Amino acid sequence: MNVSNDPLPRTRKAARSSLACLPCRSRHIKCDGIRPCCGRCSETAQQCHYGTSRRGGLDRAALAERRRQRLVNAEAGAISMPQTQYLVRSPADPLLTNPVVDIAYHGIQDLQPDISTGSEASLSSSTAVNQSPVDDVEADCLVDSYYRNFHNFHPFLLPQKHFVRLYRDPRRKSQFKPLIAFMRFIGNIYASSNWSTELNDYAEACLTQAPPTDPILVQCRLLYSIALFWNDNKTDAIHHMDNAICLALDLQMYQKDFPVKHGADDAILMECWRRTWWMLYIVNTYYAGTLASIRTGLSDVEATVGLPCEESDYESGKIPEPQTLQDFDNREFAPDVPLFSSFAYLVGAVRCSALAITEILSVTRPDSTRVIQKIDSILNAWLLLLPKNRKQVMAKTGEIDELMFQACLVIHVSIIGLHRPFSDLKFNPVENISSCARDPPLDTPTPELVNIHTLRVLQSVEDQVQLLALPTRKFEHSPFVTCMISGGMLALLSACKFQLKGTDLTIARNQVRVAIGCLNALGEFWARSARNVREIQTIARHVLGLVSDFSEEQRSLGLDISIVNADIPPQENYVDMCGWYNIPDLDMSSLWEANSAQ
Question: How many Cα atoms occupy the beta-carbon half-sphere of 545 within 13 Å?
Answer: 3
- Evaluated on CA atoms 185, 190, 196, 198, the torsion sign reads negative
Element at 316 (helix H, strand E): helix 311-316
pLDDT attached to residue 76: 52
Residues 6+ apart with CB under 8 A from 239: none
pLDDT band at 397 (very low <50, low <70, confident <90, very high): confident
Residue 61: pLDDT above 70?
Answer: no
CA distances from 155 to 41, 60, 65, 264, 315 (A): 37, 34, 35, 20, 10
Q: For residue 80, give the amino acid letter.
A: S
The CA dihedral of 112, 115, 118, 124, to the nearest 10 degrees, is 20
For residue 281, how far is the Cα from the chain centroid? 14
The answer to whether 192 and 51 are in contact (CB under 8 A) is: yes
pLDDT band at 439 (very low <50, low <70, confident <90, very high): low
**Higher pLDDT residue, 298 or 109?**
298
Taking the model in full, what pTM does it have?
Answer: 0.73
CA distances from 413 to 259, 460, 486, 585 (A): 33, 7, 9, 23
pLDDT attached to residue 85: 43
Mean pLDDT of 206-228: 95
Residue 60: pLDDT above 50?
Answer: yes
Q: Provide the 8-state DSSP code for 307.
A: P
pLDDT attached to residue 75: 52
Lowest mean pLDDT among 231-245, 442-456, 583-597: 583-597
Conformation bin of residue 232: beta by default, left when phi > 0, alpha when psi is -120 to 50 = left
Lowest mean pLDDT among 69-78, 132-141, 210-219: 69-78
pLDDT attached to residue 342: 96
Helices (H), 362-426: 368-370, 376-384, 388-391, 402-419
Mean pLDDT of 177-198: 93
Our CA angle for 368, 569, 534, nearest 5°, is: 80
Q: Which of 560, 579, 533, 303 is nearest to 418 (CA)?
A: 579
pLDDT in tens, 492-529: 998 998 888 999 999 999 999 999 999 999 999 999 99
Q: Domains (ranges, CATH) in the chain? A: 19-48 (4.10.240), 138-305 (no CATH)
**Higher pLDDT residue, 82 or 260?**
260
pLDDT attached to residue 187: 95
Distance CA 539, CA 594 (A): 21
Mean pLDDT of 66-81: 56
Residue 97: pLDDT above 90?
Answer: no
Q: For residue 454, give the amino acid letter.
A: T
Mean pLDDT of 151-162: 95
